[in-house]
Structure 1
């Protein structure tokens, strides 16, 4: 596995049609050039040319339509492997362009999950003709707290509904053909029950009819359109309903499982382009009589950035395999998807921080990609709630993961071109604490490298702490405390899938050791954080002290990785 390089892209891991889509997309952006890309971004210019390109080449249709609505075209399917590639590629050039794709992914989720065949056939035709879609979930006062949804469907005497409400943070709401809109069914007098009732939830297909649809504004200062809109007296028939009740609730959460996976791949794309720009700049710059890349601290910054970026890609690619083999009996993907959308995106922020320390003031210059990357990378962890929200989700999996492993068939590299049907038939969204996993210990024990062995000591102590000094009921209610606990568990999971991917992609020992060098340091940092928590018990503090470890230094190994990192100098630069 290597970093994406559009100038040397061959796509030999893809089928012919998928490769053609990637190459045409590269050609679109390289023909535009960096100067034009940045000019359009600075002017906040809507990307109509990009959407026309998508339409002409039927790209969204090919990548996001189930085969049963494809009129027999064998290239049309929802294939998570190539969706990850496309997400990475779009964000490599611009998160603004990625965003219209991402929002369409989310908007299609409740549609393909529904039983409304009439809508599905209509949507396939719309996609074929270049339409984009939107996901009408969030509201201004409540964000993504869907229990508190105030958008409502008011029953009418003739069996139809009238929709009323205001949606906020809704991408593509200026152009979407259909907005999959989440609402609650009200009483006939228009009132909503005081307490949330899942039987009252509904998703319906909203069209932008100006008689009922009022687009207020774009709430962000960017090329992308993130809308604030009102709907009033909007007529809704049963033909417009996608799901009701528990199925609507499940569709909301299951869509997030599928769609927000792309956030991690966007981070990988952004970091990769920023990495090329940073190494190109630093390798040519001389200060105090020497090249910037010869300074010891610059070497460390670059090695850490590269190791973290490769770890992001290894974890996300392996998580993709579990997405593709998922079933009602194998729901491991729910943890790994959550990790990609939260852990991988936050690692992306760290990569940009490290690279920014290398290039310093250059990172602010308006003609660089880096200036844009530094702004965009912050958005991705925030697009799916806060760290606390995601850590609460991740912690639900801890008991079964650590203490009740199950047997599963070995999952191979899932690069086979196939439709991932299960993602639109995930079933009930609950029961996360009952999800079983394969034994992480077997994977760790199959490696006998110095830094991996140190990390194994840390996670063994963490597991022991979970048994001998678990969080008390009071601590479990203190999420400031539990976030740190969750961070350590997340690192254990992160290392597990990185090592699985390392075997598949034959990752060399030097890189793995540098990856686990930063993993040891991160684990130690969280152990210190745990010790500092006011509610930490003496026994927990004792365990935390044992988890503070030093990576095994190896100067020769480090210099070999430096040489590898510096070999990327001048490997890629976007057309001017």
Structure 2
């Protein structure tokens, strides 16, 4: 697994057409150059030029047209997440237009309205972008309390009335999928509107940013049955199922942003001389860079392995429902940590207006807070903890999925209930693939954590204490995170020194989370004793650290720079 280097791009996809498409996207950004990208960013210019390019190259049409709605069409998750990583490498505004378009299209292709699907496919070919009208200013993440109404009329039509807030692409969307309630029945309903219709008012951009995150109102917007995508429980399920596969892209956005930041930070530090030494000669700087590199490689190993599980998902295999929120939550938070550590290295340079780093420093924190906060996603993750840790099931091994295919199950996920019944394969299998010192220390931490859950697990009151469960969830998350990383590492033949160094980071992280949970007032004395046992030191190997630093981390110096 390597970091994305646009000068030496290698698609993870075996499909040549995909590689050519992604290379054309890279070429567009590289031709634009850093000065123009930064000027547009500072001036908060919405990315009309990029949308025009995507229309010319049929980028969104290629990425987001499912089979049956275009010539040789595929909704291919591996292709989509590679695009997410590449576009975010140059800035969130470009990734965001893609991301909220996918959200807007989700209820269409999840829904029951065949004519709407054909309409969306046509608008994709015409270069349209899309929007997802879910959140509201008054309710935020409380999606149960939607005030947008669909009001039935005597002639069988409807009027849509209400407002939505924080809606990306709401300024230019060819179609906006709007979540509302039927004013008479109280049932949930999804319908589509056009942002250029006279009864649609784009009020403002809610953020001071290059992205357009709109507030809009519908002023008795006329709706017919042709505009309704789904209703009742199906509308609710379609909403959550759309978020399931779209929030996945946030992790890849974080990977792209943090990778660009790492290249730039390395070049700055390696060429800056302070007190008679280059910055990269200082021990603390070596540690910060090496930890950042390890975190980034781990982010990629986990996220791309999770993609395999999403592509192989079925009604009988819903393991993706655990791995997806971890890509959204854990990977994006790791990206924040990477950029924060790099910021500590380059210090004031990170505030300057010419380098790219200013973009990464400002935007990396957005990703954990979109499509449900990290807290919301952690609340979802802990629902899987009991079955994952204590009740494994048998599954056929999931291969690496690098072929062109239509991931049709994403549009047929079915009801969103029953998360506590989802089963997983035995995590011990992956942890048995490698015999490296820090993996052994980490396995000991996992074993102690499992014993704690079995003998002193959370009681009824602690389960209701969200703050406590969030802390417990951090420990559980690391177990799952390490498992998929090891599965991918075995497939990619990841360097053993690097892998051992990655788990050096994880041992320290596990200890940090245990110490933080130890301080929660809800703990019993028995739980505190178990948590102290989880605090371990990595197996020190200075020679290995130096090898990873010299041959893999410092070797990034001069490898990539966006042209001026």
Q: What TM-score results when the alignment is normalised by the length of structure 1?
A: 0.97
Q: Is the 8 A contact 2:149 2:162 kept in 1?
A: yes
1:370 paired with 2:357, answer yes
- The alignment yields a C-alpha RMSD, in angstroms, of 1.0
Partner of 2:261: 274
Equivalent positions of 1:175-214 (< 5 A) are 175-187=172-184, 200-214=187-201
In 2, are the aligned partners of 1:137 and 1:144 still within 8 Å (CA)? no
Correspondence 1:104 to 2:101: yes
Instruction: Name the residue aligned to 1:4.
Output: 4
Q: 2:294 and 2:196 mapped to 1: Cα distance? A: 50
Counterpart Cα distance in 1 of 2:448 and 2:11: 43
The answer to whether the 8 Å contact 1:405/1:437 transfers is: yes
Decide which moves more: 452-461 or 439-448.
439-448
**1:233-266 CA distance string (max 9 Å, x none):** 1111111100001110001100011111000000
Aligned match for 1:327, one of 314, 321, 333: 314
Aligned pair count?
Answer: 563
Counterparts of residues 135-154 of structure 1 (less than 5 Å): 135-154=132-151
Give 1:292's aligned residue.
279
2-structure distance, mates of 1:520, 1:264 = 22
List gaps (5 residues or longer) in structure 1: 194-199
Specify which of 517, 522, 539 is matched with residue 509 of structure 2. 522
- Say which of 406, 409, 434 aligns to 2:396: 409
In the TM superposition, residue 38 of structure 1 has moved relative to its aligned partner by 0.1
Q: Which residue of 1 aligns with 2:251?
A: 264
- For the residue of structure 1 that corresponds to 2:372, the secondary structure is coil
> What is the CA–CA distance in structure 1 between the aligned matches of 2:385 and 2:405, rounded to whole Å?
31
CA distance in 1, matches of 2:399, 2:52: 37
Aligned to 2:554: 566
Cα distance in 1 for residues equivalent to 2:509 and 2:371: 23
Q: Match of 1:454? A: 441
> What is the Cα deviation at residue 211 of structure 1?
2.9
Distance apart, 1:158 and its partner CA: 1.4
Give yes or no for contact 1:391–1:486 (8 Å, CA) kept in 2: yes
Q: Quote the offset at 1:473 in angstroms.
A: 1.0
Partner of 2:291: 304
1:81 equivalent among 59, 78, 82 = 78
| Contact 2:433-2:490 within 8 A present in 1 as well | no
Alignment partner of 1:49 is 2:49: yes
Change (3 A) 1:28 1:368: same
**CA–CA distance in structure 1, aligned partners of residues 525 and 410 of structure 2:** 45
Secondary structure of 1:170's counterpart equals strand
SS at match of 1:567: helix
Q: Helix, strand or coil: the match of 1:208?
A: coil
Which residue of the partner structure matches residue 523 of structure 2?
Answer: 536
Distance 1:114 1:338 in 2: 23
> Is structure 2 residue 163 aligned with structure 1 residue 170?
no
Segments of structure 2 that go 5 or more residues without pairing to the other structure are none
Determine the C-alpha separation between the residues in 1 that align with 2:528 and 2:433.
30
Q: 1:10-48 CA distances to partner (integer Å, 9 max, x unpaired)?
A: 437441211111111111111110001000111111211
Query: 2:280, 2:105 → 1: CA distance?
Result: 46
Question: 2:63 matched to which residue of 1?
Answer: 63
Partner Cα separation in structure 2 for residue 185 and residue 119 of structure 1: 20
- Cα distance in 1 for partners of 2:196, 2:204 equals 16
Q: Which of residues 432, 444, 461 in structure 1 aligns to 2:431?
A: 444
Cα deviation, 1:154-173, whole Å, max 9, x if unaligned, reads 11111211111110000000
SS in structure 2 of the partner of residue 33 of structure 1: helix
CA contact (8 A) 1:454 1:520 kept: yes
CA offsets 1:161-203 (integer angstroms, 9 cap, x no match): 111111000000010001000000112xxxx86xxxxxx0000
| Structure 2 CA distance for aligned equivalents of residues 125 and 85 of structure 1 | 24
Please name the residue that 1:197 is paired with.
none
Aligned CA distance change for structure 1 residues 285 and 256 (closer, same or farther; 3 Å): same
The answer to whether the 8 Å contact 2:103/2:242 transfers is yes
Matched, 1:429 2:426: no
What's 2:337 paired with?
350
Q: Is the 8 A contact 2:251 2:329 kept in 1?
A: yes
Q: CA 1:269 to 1:446, structure 2 compared with 1: closer, same or farther past 3 Å?
A: same
After TM superposition, give the deviation of residue 445 of structure 1 in Å.
2.1
Match of 1:16 in 2: 16
Is the CA contact (8 Å cut-off) linking 1:13 and 1:415 kept in structure 2? yes
Task: Report the 3-state secondary structure (helix = DSSP H, G, I; strand = E; otherwise coil) of the residue aligned with 1:524.
Answer: helix
